[in-house]
A and B are shown apart, each in its own frame.
Chain A
Amino acid sequence: MNMIEAINSAMDVMLARDSNVVVMGEDVGYFGGVFRATAGLQKKHGKTRVFDTPINECGIIGVAVGMGAYGLRPVPEIQFADYIYPGLDQLVSEAARIRYRSANDFVCPMTVRTPFGGGIFGGQTHSQSPESIMTHICGVKTVIPSNPYDAKGLLIAAIEDNDPVVFLEPKRIYNGPFSGYYDRPVEPWSKHAASAVPEDYYRIELGKAATVREGEAVTVLAYGTMVHVAKTVIDELNIDAEIIDLRTLLPLDIEAIEASVKKTGRCLIIHEATRTSGFGAELAALVQERCFYHLEASVERVTGFDTPYPHSLEWAYFPGPVRIATALTKILKD
């Protein structure tokens, strides 16, 4: 399976397992989603389980909150993460706080799926990575898969979770892992081990990172598309780096991070999102606080620049191989 098929399979499995699961969003019903993530689900599970919505993100998330209060387990889709902002009040002020403010009277077992990230010539409003906005909300979990196997297992766990989850799908790698070299042909998922996805139910616990590559020289913290870009560069440079795919940003697998950095003494953080107040800042602070005496070099961040995401200059903006290699060289030299 590719990522899309794995995500589709997760929803298919959960729609079949739990009659309270409903899938909704713009174009997700009859048409099957602009990325095909919900293809065939309406036909199989019926129109009241999988349906199209008006173009209204506040409504999509707000209605899902109400469905959750009734006892359903809604899986709303926001077509692009760049368009989640009209629904942000419902997410921040309502979904995230209902359990807390009502002392468990009401809960919000909702999973908001949304494609995010750049590398597709999406310009300003089809490329953003707003994960740090999500991780700054108390009461919301933030999950980002980087391969088909994880995507299905994490999405099933997210749907089953009784807290609201924002499930960010890196659309650049829907069809295949991305090396970071935009001028090279894209490899399909079928050549990747993680494309072996069971048809049936399985779950990957939220809050657990995955070690993508073991190493001793430096710890690389990444998620989503950047896991693959990092791996390409590290393989090319033949650096003994340990790559940790965070998978869940909140709650974060701090034990995995701490153990790795204490072992390597060096840390590089990579994300596509803009730098200032990005999630990398939180990671850098945590590493500094917890691994200070083990650090042999300053913690570095390779990120998108602090500008809106450009169209024509995409590959100058994207934190690609050159920027990563430069940072790794600097860290290892110190």
Chain B
Amino acid sequence: MPETPRRSASNLPPLSLHIPEPRYRPGDTPDFGDIEVPAIDATPRPGEASKPDAMRELCYGLVRVLNFDGQAKGPWDPKLAPELLRSMLRMMLLVRAFDDRMFRAQRQGKTSFYMKCTGEEATSVASTMALDRADMVFPSYRQQGILITREYPLIQMMNQIYSNRGDHLLGRQLPIMYSAPEHGFFSVSGNLATQYPQAVGWAMASASKGDSRIATVWCGEGSSAEGDFHSALTFAAVYNAPVIFNVVNNQWAISSFSGFAGGERTTFAARAVGYGIAGLRVDGNDPLAVYAATQWAADRARTNNGPTLIEHFTYRAEGHSTSDDPSAYRAAQEYAAWPFGDPVLRLKEHLVKLGEWDDARHEALQKELDDLVKTTQKQSEKLGVLGHGMHQPFETMFEDVFEEMPWHLKEQCAQMLAEQEAKFGPDWKPE
């Protein structure tokens, strides 16, 4: 057999495989001075019905409203009333207070797990405020700000985190995997990005029924590498589904930096271009920009102009979860060096600049919210914490696998109840 001549290339260097590497590792001094921060009026605000083609540059720019002096400027300024801004600040502070308490509760052994969203509060709080209360949200695990903004009872969140007898998910779910249908909050799944096509399906259903509600969905930049992301954007484009895709680009997926999700070569908003849908890249630490972008995308979806992908450019200020130690893979000072600052402080500064807020009121509000969280925590802990007794009747383990329990589950349930009696005696009751 004649040998196929190879186009090779004795005179070329060998191929090399590129493995992305973050810029800073533990011990390094981070400097993000070269991150491009486009001027506030460099990013135009096209009409909500614009063709996706007209949105291209927005996928590479950055929607900004608040400059670093706390002033709202430019075409995207949503011009919100001070009352609304104060309420946004309150929600973001409440999220932060809640996170701090629950993180501590995990460290105290009251629950198995927690995940904070520090530094990303705007991406859930501000976007939720720009939605209609009846719109359906499909969150990932780092959007507790949605529930808090929609005034889901804090005690129910805590009960879920503690898997206690007040937990309406009956202790079945890992902490923070909330579910709140009355608050338009879809059940959180541990499997990443699965909510993406589901949100599209919900939006398609709403459209096919002639409803006026839209769907919104969140994932992190790391999860955008999942196949479900591609499935969702394809279906949304094909059926012009009224859905808003949020990618919270917080730079880190546990220990792997955004380069492993494809972030070295392009922006995550630019994924929209290939699907023919509108894309916006937003300063995720600028609550007004997040609000404005969501409002734009919601109006677009509501007027049958189709889906939008919003990349929230932000930074995951803390560890991935209570099981994670970020000092093992990234420079300790990264968040301090992050050029977009802290979303809570930026909104606070804005309100102060407007003459609608001051340090004393801020401190008082913080104290009020800390107290609220603390009081609620005490109430929740009266219903039990994880590891201190078992709080659900054992048979609930077998319920809701199906609408009706089939024979094999009934048999297994009987077996388990016999084990329970052998271990704890006939009078055992949930604590």
Q: Is the CB of B194 within 8 A of A22?
A: no
Asked if A310 is at the interface of the complex by the 8 Å CB criterion, the answer is no
Asked if A313 is at the interface of the complex by the 8 Å CB criterion, the answer is no
Asked if B172 is at the interface of the complex by the 8 Å CB criterion, the answer is yes
CA distance in complex: A48, B197 (Å):
18
Q: Is the CB of A65 within 8 A of B189?
A: no
B114 to chain A, nearest CB (A): 18
CA distance in complex: A107, B186 (Å):
11
Q: Which 5 A-B pairs have the closest CB atoms?
A: A66-B201, A62-B197, A59-B231, A63-B201, A66-B198
Asked if B297 is at the interface of the complex by the 8 Å CB criterion, the answer is no
Q: Which single residue of chain B is at the shortest CB-CB distance from A86?
A: B227
Q: Is the CB of A72 within 8 A of B205?
A: yes
A165 to chain B, nearest CB (A): 11
Q: Is the CB of A54 within 8 A of B235?
A: yes
Contact with B along A91-120 (1 / 0, CB 8 A): 001100111111111110000000000000
Most chain B beta-carbon contacts within 10 A, residue among A59, A86, A104: A59
Which B residues are CB-close (under 8 A) to A93? Answer: 189-191, 194
CA distance in complex: A58, B231 (Å):
7
Q: Is the CB of A62 within 8 A of B194?
A: yes
Contact with B along A122-162 (1 / 0, CB 8 A): 00000000000000001101000000000000000000011
Q: How many residues of B contact A (CB 8 A)?
A: 46
Asked if B401 is at the interface of the complex by the 8 Å CB criterion, the answer is yes
Contact with B along A55-91 (1 / 0, CB 8 A): 0101101111111111110100000000000100110
Asked if B88 is at the interface of the complex by the 8 Å CB criterion, the answer is no
Main secondary structure of the interface of A (DSSP, over half): mixed
A56 to chain B, nearest CB (A): 5
Most chain A beta-carbon contacts within 10 A, residue among B138, B173, B179, B205: B205
Asked if B315 is at the interface of the complex by the 8 Å CB criterion, the answer is no
Report 9 cross-chain contacts, Cβ distance below 8 Å, ordered by A residue: A61-B197, A62-B198, A66-B202, A70-B206, A90-B194, A93-B194, A97-B189, A99-B403, A251-B406
Given contacts A66-B198, A99-B403, contact A56 B177 (CB under 8 A): no
Asked if B181 is at the interface of the complex by the 8 Å CB criterion, the answer is yes
Question: Out of B181, B187, B201, B403, which one reaches A101, CB within 8 Å?
Answer: B187
Question: Out of A48, A74, A103, which one reaches B400, CB within 8 Å?
Answer: A103
Asked if A53 is at the interface of the complex by the 8 Å CB criterion, the answer is yes
Asked if A242 is at the interface of the complex by the 8 Å CB criterion, the answer is no
Q: Is the CB of B402 within 8 A of A99?
A: yes
Contact with A along B182-210 (1 / 0, CB 8 A): 00001101110010111111111110110
Which B residues are CB-close (under 8 A) to A64? Answer: 201
Measured CB to CB, the residues of B under 8 A from A are 136, 138, 168-170, 172-173, 177, 179-181, 186-187, 189-191, 194, 196-206, 208-209, 215, 227-228, 230-232, 234-235, 238, 400-403, 406-408
Asked if A254 is at the interface of the complex by the 8 Å CB criterion, the answer is yes
Which B residues are CB-close (under 8 A) to A215? Answer: none
Q: Is the CB of A67 within 8 A of B169?
A: no
Chain A interface residue count: which class? 35 or more
Contact with B along A158-178 (1 / 0, CB 8 A): 000111000000000000000
Question: Out of B187, B191, B238, which one reaches A89, CB within 8 Å?
Answer: B191
Q: Is the CB of B228 within 8 A of A105?
A: no
CA distance in complex: A54, B170 (Å):
38
Given contacts A63-B235, A89-B191, A103-B172, contact A69 B198 (CB under 8 A): yes
Most chain B beta-carbon contacts within 10 A, residue among A53, A56, A69, A72: A69
Given contacts A54-B238, A94-B189, contact A66 B205 (CB under 8 A): yes
A48 to chain B, nearest CB (A): 4
CA distance in complex: A98, B401 (Å):
9
CA distance in complex: A86, B231 (Å):
11
B218 to chain A, nearest CB (A): 14
Most chain A beta-carbon contacts within 10 A, residue among B138, B180, B206, B401: B401
Seed contacts A22-B208, A59-B235; 9 additional CB < 8 Å A-B pairs: A66-B203, A69-B186, A70-B136, A70-B201, A97-B189, A103-B179, A138-B401, A251-B407, A254-B407
Asked if A40 is at the interface of the complex by the 8 Å CB criterion, the answer is no
B229 to chain A, nearest CB (A): 10
CA distance in complex: A69, B136 (Å):
10
